[in-house]
Amino acid sequence: MAGDLKKKSIFAKLGGQKFIVLLVVIVLFTFFSIASQDFRKYTTVLNIFDFSYYIVLMAIGVTFPLITGGVDLSIGTGLICYSLAGGYLVVHLGWPTGLGLLVSVLFGILIGFANGVLIAVMGLPPFLATLCTCMITRGLGSICSKGFGISWPTTGAPGSWFRSIFKMQIGGTKIPIGFIWILIIVAIMAFVLNHTKIGRYTIAIGSNKEAAVLSGINVKFYHIMAYVISGFFAGLASIAYAAVFPTVQPGTGAGFELEAIGGAIIGGVSATGGAGSIEGTLIGVFVICLLKTGLPFVGLQANWQQIITGLVLIAAVLVDIIKKRREAK
């Protein structure tokens, strides 16, 4: 009996949905490379990486609330809000860059904590609570910067060292070291998810909250932690955003969270909670980023990208649902 259970299909061994999605990424990349000669360039890869950092970071963070069976919709407008707040201090009040970045991250953690309290302690439905903080951060961002767009110090200007966190120029070539950081962060967070209490209890809450309570786990604390992680990563993402783009505009950011959540779900995070992986999320986000960067190369206007992203998301969830229905039989 015990022996039977060890027999997993080759498919499952390779990582299940993650594996398919990885194939999708490869297929997409190959397709774009064949379809457009301009796509096959080192600079394109650089671009894909550059534009993916903030989404990947948000997605890694939001994976935790998603696994608890919740969601965090406040990360998109939150990212802009944190970046505006930190940037305002640096640009207009002359704070050192490092301190500004720290404020961005702390702001993220604070909002994440607020989300956690609203959901875990006060019992609000996650998407509604975070919808409210989404509105609130959108307003706060504009107020922080007095409504003005903020240009963090540009490359070369004093205090612009943070821009080279994600991209270093060695000789004439630019090295996307940000991707190395991302890989390290993915490794760390995968470890956190699979081998630490925080991760273990995040899964337990999403899979069977009642059982977690009865096992004597401080469910409220770990539930809050899931949102704090999400907020923390939104804070990190705000740094990545500021480092890649010249200007942060208030009133934007709505929609970023959808790319992050979409990426996580495409990467195999169960839409109903309990299951998911950080590696999967990373791969899932790359599906979205590839589409976003690649479609203009094959002559499709930007608007098609939105339609295709929407359809891909539905397809990913349907595959999951159909698979589950088959298994149930």
Partner 1 sequence: MDKIKQNPIVKKLGFNRIVLVFVILLMYTLFCVATGGNFAGLPRILSALNYAYFLGFLSLGVTFVIATGGIDFSIGPVMFCAALISGYSLTSLGVPMGLALLISVFVGFCFGLFNGYLVAYWSVPPFIVSMASMNIAKGVASVFTKTQSVSWPQLAAGGWFRQLVKIGNFPVGLVIFVLVAIVCALLLNKTKPGRYILCLGSNREAVRLSGVNTKKWEMLAYVICGVLVGIAAIFFVGAYTTVQPGYGDQYNNEAIAGCVMGGTSMAGGLASISGTVIGVFIIALLQEGILALGFTKDYQLIITGIIVIVAVYADVVARRRKN
Partner 2 sequence: MRKKVLATLMTAAMAATLFAGCGDSAGTDTASAGGDTATATEGGSTEAAAGDYKFEIIVKSYQSSYWQAAVKGIEQEAEAKGVTVNCTGPNAESDIADQVNMLNNAINNAPNGIGLAACDQDACLDALQAALDAGIPVVCFDSGIPNAPAGSVVSTVATDNYSAGATAAENLYPALKDKIGNGQVRVGEVNQEATSESIINRGLGFIDKFAELAKADGYTVAVIGNEKYVNDSKAETVAEADADIVIEVAVPAQTTVELCATEASAIMNKSDTIGMFGSNQIAAEGILTANENLGVLGDKILAAGFDAGSVIKSAVSSGTMYGAVTQSPLVMGITTVDVLCDAASGKSVSDVPTDGYWYNADNMEDPEIAPNLYD
Partner 3 sequence: MGEVILTMNDIDKSFPGVHALDHVHFDVNRGEVHALMGENGAGKSTLMKVLTGIYTKDSGTIEFEGKEVEFHNAREAQDAGVVIVHQELNMVGHLTVAQNIFIGREFKKGFRIDDKKMNEEAAKLFKRLNIDIDPTATMSDLTVGKQQMCEIAKAISHEAKVIVFDEPSAALTESEIAELFKIIRDLREQQLGIVYISHRMDEIKVITDRVTVMRDGGYVGTLITKDCTKDDIINMMVGRVIYEEPKTKSLVPDDAPVVLKVEHLNAGKMVRDVSFELRKGEILGFSGLMGAGRTETARAIFGADPKESGDIYINGKKVEINSPEDAVKNGIGYLSEDRKRFGIVVQKTIAENSTLATLEKYMKGIFINKKKENEVTQKYVDSLATKTPSIDQLVVNLSGGNQQKVVIAKWLVRDSEILIFDEPTRGIDVGAKNEIYKLMNRLAAEGKSIIMISSEMTEILRMSDRIIVMCEGKVTGEIGIEEVSQEKIMNMATREIS
Q: Which residues bind to partner 2, rule: CB under 8 A?
A: 37-39, 41, 43-44, 46-47, 50-51, 138, 142-143, 146-149, 151, 154-157, 167, 174, 241, 244-247, 249-252, 255, 292-293, 296-297, 301-303, 305-306
In contact, 250 and 8? CB cutoff 8 Å: no
196 binds partner 3 (CB under 8 A): yes
Which one, of 78, 129, 5, lies nearest residue 255 by Cα?
A: 78
Look at residue 128 and give the partner it binds from partner 1, partner 2, partner 3, none, a contact being a CB closer than 5 to 8 Å depending on partner kind: partner 1
Look at residue 317 and give the partner it binds from partner 1, partner 3, partner 2, none, a contact being a CB closer than 5 to 8 Å depending on partner kind: partner 1
Look at residue 118 and give the partner it binds from partner 2, partner 3, partner 1, none, a contact being a CB closer than 5 to 8 Å depending on partner kind: partner 1
5 binds partner 1 (CB under 8 A): no
14 binds partner 1 (CB under 8 A): no
Q: How near is the Cβ of 198 to partner 3 at its closest, in Å?
A: 9
Residues 6+ apart with CB under 8 A from 265: 66, 271, 284, 313, 316, 317
Using the rule CB under 8 A, which residue among 5, 93, 122, 170 binds partner 3?
5
Using the rule CB under 8 A, which residue among 234, 275, 287, 289 binds partner 3?
275
Q: Which of residues 18-57 bind partner 3 (CB under 8 A)?
A: none
Using the rule CB under 8 A, which residue among 23, 143, 157, 298 binds partner 1?
143
Look at residue 46 and give the partner it binds from partner 3, partner 1, partner 2, none, a contact being a CB closer than 5 to 8 Å depending on partner kind: partner 2
How many residues in the shown chain lie near partner 1 by CB under 8 A? 45
129 binds partner 1 (CB under 8 A): yes
Q: How near is the Cβ of 106 to partner 2 at its closest, in Å?
A: 23
93 binds partner 3 (CB under 8 A): no
Look at residue 189 and give the partner it binds from partner 3, partner 2, partner 1, none, a contact being a CB closer than 5 to 8 Å depending on partner kind: none
- Which residues contact partner 3 by CB under 8 A? 1-3, 5-6, 191, 195-197, 200, 203-204, 206-208, 210-218, 274-275, 328-329
